[in-house]
């Protein structure tokens, strides 16, 4: 690695050396590399704000042979209101008394007797999550969608609640899908989807992934349809994509479509054609660009998708996948590596900060006794929380967690001195590649996953200390 002439970054790097992986603990290697990535990434101000970026989220999956290795790769960007804080919270597996009730974002539902350990990237004000994983090797992300079925008024389960419930209760992608569809039929979906007194609600699509397969689940009110994906690459955005390739569906789906005049009852049934709105909202039309861009990016890497490739897709600005437009931005990002070999641990990378092009993906591994990372968990306000009071969201509270505040301060400072951004772009990618190489060594069996159980904690702590 050659230092940049006249660059303070280059001079700093020139003074550092990497311990040989043969002679030093690999965990320390990862932290050293991570520390450098933090330094470089926060003066990378290449990201420009798109004037009219499509407002939506995107989920991606690659299964062999789409993946380079024998791994399933999952990725998602959560695009939300710019000032909304996304936290990363982990919850252990738990047993619950028979007959107990569970308080979701707006409603209570019966609790089950046993729930899995989960790691969630979630808007700090709600109970549910935009994306996450459980200790069974299941990952789920959701997207907003609008259909011919009206969005019903009133409060029910949010799509984000269903993500968390699927992870807590499902030991496979299919089992999680069964959990979500059962709860959807029983309780419905609805309620304000942002922290604002002005109502904003939608239906949901989901991407559910495990070590062996993926499922796309698309909903319209309490109705639903599912498509199975067993190989190759797939992405979803804010539109219906399931046509005639249907693996499972609500028993009344076709009869409702026929009764409404959306399908004549003859010939092939195409869910997207039947249930997509005739006059879709502008946000759905704009999302088509993102969906097309995401599909093209996946196809470009078909057969060679890795965690690093997935991160690069989530950082892509021209497609709008990495959003930074007006009142919306990518508030959190996630990439997961799910080895088909069940003797190897799953790796889940989270940013816990906005804009993946100027954030660090930090690896999390489920392990016994791993430390809960409170510095990426937002403050709690109990009964005084605006989401708990009626009417809801009449006031605002500061939900920023420690890492969010430190990252925000660093960006505000560094944006005033962008000169070195272009010069260090390639170095940033090189350093991150080295970090991912160390994780790859673990996946090859050279390191026990238990040795890296607190790596997420260590990385968050290192990042905050650097900002300070």
Block residue for tokens 């974002």: 105
Measured distance CA(290)–CA(218) in Å, rounded: 18
User: Do residues 393 and 387 touch, judged by C-beta distance below 8 A?
Assistant: yes
- Residue listed under structure tokens 């007006």: 326
Residue 225 to residues 217, 275, 370: CA-CA distances in angstroms?
6, 11, 38
Q: Which of 41, 57, 193, 435 is catalytic?
A: 57
Phi-psi region for residue 137, left (φ > 0), alpha (ψ -120 to 50) or beta?
left
β-strands 58-63, 232-236: how paired?
antiparallel
Burial group, residue 106, by CB count within 10 angstroms (0-12, 13-18, 19+) = buried
Residue 401 to residue 377: CA distance in whole angstroms = 6
Count, in order, helices (H) and strands (E) of the chain: 11, 19
Which stretches of 357-417 are assigned E, i.e. beta strand? 362-364
Please tell me the distance from the alpha carbon of residue 45 to that of residue 108, in angstroms, as a whole number: 44
Catalytic residue at 57? yes
Both tokens assigned to 17: 């050396």
Catalytic residues: 57
């Amino acid at each position: 690695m050659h230092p940049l002439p006249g660059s303070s970054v280059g001079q700093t790097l020139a003074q550092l050396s990497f311990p040989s992986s043969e002679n030093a603990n690999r965990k320390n290697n990862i932290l050293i590399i991570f520390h450098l990535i933090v330094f470089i990434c926060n003066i990378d101000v290449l990201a420009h704000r798109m004037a009219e970026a499509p407002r939506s989220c995107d989920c991606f999956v690659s299964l062999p042979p789409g993946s380079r290795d024998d791994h399933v790769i999952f990725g998602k960007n959560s695009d939300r209101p710019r000032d909304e804080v996304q936290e990363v919270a982990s919850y252990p597996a738990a047993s619950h008394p028979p007959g107990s009730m569970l308080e979701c974002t707006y409603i209570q539902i019966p609790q089950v007797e046993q729930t899995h350990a989960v790691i969630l990237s979630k808007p700090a004000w709600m109970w549910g999550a935009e994306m996450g994983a459980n200790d069974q090797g299941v990952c789920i992300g959701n997207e907003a969608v609008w259909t011919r079925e009206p969005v019903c008024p009133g409060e029910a389960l949010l799509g984000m609640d269903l993500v968390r419930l699927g992870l807590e209760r499902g030991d496979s992608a299919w089992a999680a899908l069964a959990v979500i569809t059962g709860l959807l039929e029983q309780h419905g979906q609805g309620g304000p989807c942002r922290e604002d007194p002005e109502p904003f609600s939608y239906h949901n699509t989901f991407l559910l992934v495990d070590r062996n397969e993926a499922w796309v689940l698309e909903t319209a009110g309490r109705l639903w349809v599912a498509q199975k994906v067993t190989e190759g690459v797939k992405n979803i955005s804010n539109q219906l994509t399931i046509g005639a390739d249907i693996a499972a569906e609500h028993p009344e789906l076709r009869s409702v479509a026929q009764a409404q005049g959306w399908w004549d009852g003859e010939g092939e049934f195409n869910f997207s054609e039947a249930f997509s709105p005739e006059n879709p909202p502008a946000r759905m039309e704009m999302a088509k660009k993102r969906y097309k861009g995401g599909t093209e990016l996946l196809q470009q890497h078909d057969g060679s998708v890795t965690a690093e490739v997935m991160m690069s897709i989530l950082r892509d600005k021209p497609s709008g996948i990495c959003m930074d437009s007006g009142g919306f931005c990518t508030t959190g990002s996630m990439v997961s590596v799910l080895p088909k070999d069940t003797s190897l641990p799953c790796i889940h990378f989270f940013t816990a900060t906005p804009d993946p092009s100027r954030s660090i993906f930090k690896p999390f591994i489920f392990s016994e006794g791993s430390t809960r990372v409170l510095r990426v968990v937002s403050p709690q306000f109990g009964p005084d929380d605006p989401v708990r009071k009626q009417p809801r969201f009449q006031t605002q509270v500061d939900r920023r967690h420690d890492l969010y505040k430190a990252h925000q301060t660093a960006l505000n400072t560094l944006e005033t001195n962008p000169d070195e951004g272009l010069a260090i772009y390639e170095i940033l990618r090189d350093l991150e590649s080295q970090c991912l190489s160390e994780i790859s060594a673990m996946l090859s069996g050279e390191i026990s996953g238990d040795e890296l159980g607190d790596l997420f904690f260590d990385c968050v702590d290192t990042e905050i200390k650097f900002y300070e």
